[in-house]
Structure 1
Amino acid sequence: MKRNPARKSAARPGWRPWTLPVLAALGAAVLAAATLDPAPAAAADSEVTVDLAAQGAAPTAVGSGFLYGLSQDGSAPADNLLQPLKPALFRGGGARIAGGGWLGDGYTAGAGYRVRINSALSQARRVTAAPYRATYHLLVSDVWGADTTQPASTVYPCDNGDCSNWAAFVDRVVADVQASGIPVAYDIWNEPDGTGFWQRGVNSPQYYRMWDTAVREIRRLVPAAQIVGPSYSGYNHGWLDSWLGQTKADNTLPNVLNWHFGDDPATDAADARALESAHGIAPLPLTINEYLFSQQQNSAYTAWFLDRLSASGVTAAAHAIWSDCCGAGTLDSLLAGGQPTGQWWVYQAYARLSGRLLATTGGGGVAVAAAADSSAHQVLALLGNNSGQGGTTTVTVRNLSAASWLLHSGAVHATVQRIPDQSPLSAPVTVFDADVATDGATLHLPVTRTSGSDAYTVTLTPGNGSTGPVDPTVVVDGTDTSTSDLDHFGYGANWGVTNGVSDMYQQTANWSYTGGAVATFTFRGTQVALHAVRDADQGIMSLSVDGGSPVTVDNYAPSRNASGVVWTSPRLAVGTHTVTITNTGQRNGASGGTNIALDRADVTPS
């Protein structure tokens, strides 16, 4: 879309002109956060609700935990990157550290064992102390050596009915933990269901001998010890049903019931509670100390899972690790080059929920967690989605009278921020910051999600008299190459253009399959968001602003999102800037190609 520099306020094709009086006349105060942007293709409208009258417990950042998120000695990342997330759970046991653990030492406590237990205790020492006072799940099986690198000749605990070496190992672990004085919970065996960690059968007689031996040894030595299990690789009703029955009969139930992943933590937790009740077991604390598959680790899905955790009754959960195991200190890739990513900002927003949690409902694949803090005069909501699609989500806030401190002259101030799925990301993008009117009881806030992989926050504070959107966005189609326009694209060799692409803005796509092919986008403003195709055949591109250090963006996705935001620039000084876009010729290992397909750019002009 071309911009006429002499008519900055003129309505443009594809924009939805609006005024607050018009919206109010329609019977509701409406936040026009991103209605200036064209809605993404295949986007369905949805609604989520927040009830100010239904206040519950204080937020506890239940999902703020990390599997192997720290460096080997626990010193990284720095406190300024860790404390804002209010982490409540860490999990580790020295996996993949050279030496192979107890197994690598020939089933005894040698150097391989020592380096793993020392790593875990160093990590636990930091995070269980002030200011964190988090829980640390010690992965006993990783200290033993079962981290998927064990050889085929491995003698597993209780092979041939002999559990004596396993018992000696457990005794040594407990002795070393006790000598350290560091509180840990013992997570006995990771994913004992044939995933490469345990090769003797899920819920097999040998598994139960291994489990029972460990529990009895730990409790013999430390009766008050916290034990975690079964840590299945995914929530499985049948497995857990059998496991609860057997461990109850053996008197080896854990102190904490735990599993990994699952489709919906709230649904899984409810099912686990029903199983406990059916077996006559008093409710145990529930944890999920691995969640999010690699393809789910984007801003939107992470926020969705955190939202569902807030409604689940789970007491703690830990983000899974896939690409940088096991001592990189990146918080499971929440940090890139020591800088926050979009996911990091999602966790930071989640940690800012304060006061009392509010009852919410989701819809259309969108979930919301929200809290009201009367002392801070603030309501904060985090929006995520698990569909991978954009669309307009109306946030309906009910029973405003229960938070009368929000109202000032009949208005509430609303700030909407977009958290792009970007690595790194210097800060969320503010897309709306103004007062909105109310009907006295309800507020309706439409938020247009420009990409299915981005999360959003909505912050409500007392009205202050401000009006209007933040820096109306200028939309520039990828085919706009006229140098007479302030904002325009430019393409070098090996770029093509396709028309009639129904799920892209203006139905056009500019593309290149060739490594080294360069495109540019020149604009006048303070920020730009680039839309491009994410799909199963897309490659990796690099971007730099004004000749600065490039960042890489992987456009691979298991399913197509044709026009979402894939990268947002930092805030820039007012002036003319140039983004250089290069097809690196590289691809994600799961991708079927190296194509780069550009859709459009959204410019913040001032």
Structure 2
Amino acid sequence: MNPPLTRALARLSALTLLAGLAVAGPASPASAADLTLTVDVGQVVRPATQVASGGLYGVGSDSEPTTDMLLPLNPTSFTQPPPGTTHLGNGATEPCCDALDVGHNITRAGAQQFIRLPDIYPTFPYEWQGWADWEQKVTTMVEDRLAATDTTNIHGWELWNEPDWTWDTQEAGSFNDGWTRTYELVRSLDPVTPIVGPSPSVYRHDDMLDFMSHARDTGTVPDVIVWHELGDMNWDSFDDHVADYRAIEERLGISPRPIAINEYNSFNQMDIPSVALHWMSAFERHGAREAHRAYWFEAGTFDGLFTLDNEPTASYWLYRWYGEMTGNIVATTPESWLDGVASYDSSRQIVNVAFGGDWGDNTVDVTGLGSFGFSVDVRILSTPGSGRHTHVAEPTLVREATMPVSGGRISVPVDGMDAEGAYQLLVTPAGGPTTSWQQVYEAENATVVNAQTRSSGEASNGYYVGGIDGDADMRSDSFVDFTVNVPEARSYTMTIDYANGTGATSTHGLAYNGSDWSTVSYPPTAGWGQFATTSVTVDLDAGYNVIRLAKGSPHFEGGTGYAEIDRITLS
């Protein structure tokens, strides 16, 4: 057996026994039909936050992948091993990817991370060494994190991984009791950082009901609910799993928790772009907060988005198109295997559709284009169905055209589709978007840390960020990180749309690209959720920059009062 496959195949065999998942299966339909994917620009699903752009062991070090490689993908979050890890995943000869070692790279890329505690053990499945050993390990891991006072991006402790087949019931007792004991230990050391779980390898109603009942009764309900979605072509089950879980919450009187899927896809299909696209579509439609590509192969390659030589693969281009989605995710209606994810940025009038999944001659219908005028420019790119060891230097241009708009609708033919590849459709008013580069950045599209995205008809895109209130320490600091992309290095005017209902001037700290902190002042507005503007000057590098507006942050004394953020505009 090839050593790097040991963990993947061991897990796959166990899943097959436990859940009847197929070990092999077709990656795409056997035949094509004339299918239509419908995109409704006027039907908002949620703010664009790249839900599916995360990875398990996706970052290998402070420079692998480099921050510059990660930024265009706009990653949301990762699951990484704990401080002091000894884990040798997938045949590795040296441990890697310690959450604290990679933390600043992840933060610079605008993402957050869960720490997976049981990956302190060297082997998988884990070899239980007794409660005294485990509790000593947990204490050390948490204390190491608490000592890292400049690390802000830890947004969850994952207490165990796949307990449905890795928990040693004979030696450690029941998992539910073990969860409670570990939860209470972590909370005694760190009462702030969210706790996430239970992280089973597959979703099962009876197991989840049993776990949640026990957690409710012992006061140890996770802050974020995690399970894994693994197996060939299993994306169609996700909506049923979400509905079942929400029914359990309601039955038990538990307030709704965010859902994170911190392992998704399958061993067989990990490197097929159209398969990843199906997962993206399911997670965006059905309410996941975040989802992480599974760790079947090499760590530090963003789970196959880069080759071992740090070059883009075919799947990279799909995730890059997805990373470019701004504004709101809008409704898509699939037909058979043809599916997609779409966004609409009203500030630039750009519709961005990532689609694929079937062979032959198909169509993308886009409705809700009444404001685009009588004609639009369309551009279609493609990426092939090749795997993680094949470098794809750039996507292929399929078509560029100007098309008439009739009744706010266009019908875009896409001939000769490859069911394993993926495609991007860009639609703008004829002559291009309203600005040549993105100038408006919505707060709800940014990295929101210890704050909340809220909806309002007064906000520029229907959403804003409030509750930016924390400044106690690196675990509770509240801030918004905007990843911006500018055409040249120079000074820019940054206008902030904000609300301040305190009746007095409030302040945030402002920093970007490692700069010293400065202060932004927010005079009172008419009330919360009622916005005004203030402007500052920022000196930005050409390309990507990360701008932080913070109530609290390491090396910053903290803002005064409170303020909400709607968006920033660079000019």
Structure 1 unmatched ranges of 5 or more: 1-39, 102-111, 158-162, 466-606
Larger Rg: 1
Residue pair 1:191, 1:232 contacting (<8 A) in 2 also: yes
Q: What are the ranges of 5 or more consecutive residues in structure 2 without an aligned counterpart?
A: 1-28, 433-571
Preserved contact between residue 395 and residue 446 of structure 1 (Cα < 8 Å): yes
- 8 Å contact from structure 1 (residues 300, 455) kept in 2: yes
The match for 1:52 is 41
User: What is the rounded CA distance, in whole Å, between the counterparts of 1:201 and 1:59 in structure 2?
Assistant: 45
Q: Which moved more, 1:336-345 or 1:304-313?
A: 304-313
* 2:362–2:417 contact (8 Å) kept in structure 1: no
| SS of alignment partner, residue 206 of structure 2 | helix
Q: Secondary structure at the match of 2:268?
A: helix
| Residue equivalent to 1:568 | none
* Map of 2:410 onto structure 1: 443
| Residue of structure 1 in register with 2:396 after alignment | 429
**Is the 1:307–1:383 contact (alpha carbons within 8 Å) kept by the matching residues of 2?**
no
Q: Match of 2:565?
A: none
Q: Does the 8 Å CA contact 1:302/1:384 hold for their aligned counterparts?
A: no
**Residue of structure 1 aligned with 2:279, choices 299, 305, 314:** 305
Report the Cα distance in structure 2 between the residues aligned to 1:155 and 1:426, rounded to whole angstroms: 45
Contact map agreement 2:85 2:119 (CA 8 A) in 1: no
1:223 is displaced (CA, Å) by 1.2
For 2:266, the equivalent position in structure 1 comes to 293
* Matched residue type, 2:195: I
CA 1:226–1:95: 2 relative to 1, 3 Å? closer
Show the counterpart of 1:193.
164
Q: Contact 1:66/1:332 (CA < 8 Å) preserved in 2?
A: yes
Give the TM-score of the pair, scaled to structure 1: 0.60
Does residue 399 in structure 1 map to residue 399 in structure 2? no
Q: Which amino acid aligns with 1:93?
A: P
Inter-partner Cα distance in structure 2 for 1:155 and 1:333: 31
Aligned residue in 2 for 1:136: 113
1:302, CA displacement in angstroms?
0.8
Q: Which amino acid aligns with 2:184?
A: R
CA drift of 1:99 comes to 7.6
Change (3 A) 1:178 1:307: same
Within a 5 Å distance, the mapping from 1:375-386 to structure 2 comes to 375-385=347-357
Which position in structure 2 is the counterpart of 1:69? Answer: 58
Which contiguous aligned blocks of 4+ residues in structure 1 show a shift greater than 3 angstroms? 94-101, 115-118, 154-157
Residue-pair matches, total: 388
Match of 1:92 in 2: 80
In the alignment, the residues of structure 1 paired with residue 70 and residue 325 of structure 2 have an alpha-carbon distance, to the nearest angstrom, of 16
Question: Are residue 353 (structure 1) and residue 325 (structure 2) matched?
Answer: yes
Partner of 1:338: 310
Q: Does the CA contact (< 8 Å) of 1:167 and 1:213 recur in 2?
A: no
CA displacement at 1:281 relative to structure 2: 0.9
Q: Are the structure 2 counterparts of residues 242 and 201 from structure 1 closer, same or farther at C-alpha, using a change threshold of 3 Å?
A: farther
Q: CA separation in 2, counterparts of 1:233 and 1:81? A: 30
Kindly indicate whether the alpha-carbon contact (under 8 Å) linking 1:48 and 1:363 is maintained by their aligned counterparts in 2.
Answer: yes
Partner residue, 1:412? 376
Which residue of 2 is the match for residue 604 of structure 1?
A: none
CA deviation vs aligned residue, 1:399-451 (integer Å, no higher than 9, x gap): 322xx1x22xx221111111112321111111110011232332112223532
Q: Summarize the alignment of residues 117-516 of structure 1 with structure 2, pairs less than 5 Å apart.
A: 119-127=98-106, 129=107, 131-148=108-125, 154-157=127-130, 163-181=131-149, 182-183=151-152, 184=154, 185-194=156-165, 197-200=166-169, 205-261=173-229, 263-264=234-235, 265-297=238-270, 298-324=272-298, 326=299, 329-336=300-307, 337-385=309-357, 389-401=358-370, 404=371, 406-407=372-373, 410-422=374-386, 423-464=390-431
Displacement of 1:267 in angstroms is 3.5
Q: State the one-letter code of the partner of 1:55.
A: V
Deviations 1:487-519 (A, max 9, x none): xxxxxxxxxxxxxxxxxxxxxxxxxxxxxxxxx
Where 1:171 maps in the other structure, the secondary structure is helix
Q: C-alpha displacement at 1:454, in angstroms?
A: 0.5
Match of 1:486 in 2: none
- TM-score under structure 2 normalisation? 0.64
Contact 1:193 1:201 in 2 (8 A): no
Deviations 1:222-280 (Å, cap 9, x if unpaired)?
11121110111122222212211111112111111001115233442233222211221
**Separation in 1, partners of 2:83, 2:98:** 10
Paired residue secondary structure (2:163):
coil
Does the 8 Å contact 1:56/1:356 carry over to 2? yes
Q: Which residue of 1 aligns with 2:520?
A: none
Which letter does structure 1 place at the counterpart of 2:37? V
Looking at structure 1, the residues matched to 431 and 302 of structure 2 have their Cα atoms a distance apart, in angstroms, of 38
Question: How far is the alpha carbon of 1:56 from its aligned partner?
Answer: 4.2
| Letter matched to residue 339 of structure 2 | A
**Percent identical residues:** 29
Secondary structure at 1:296's aligned position in 2? Answer: coil
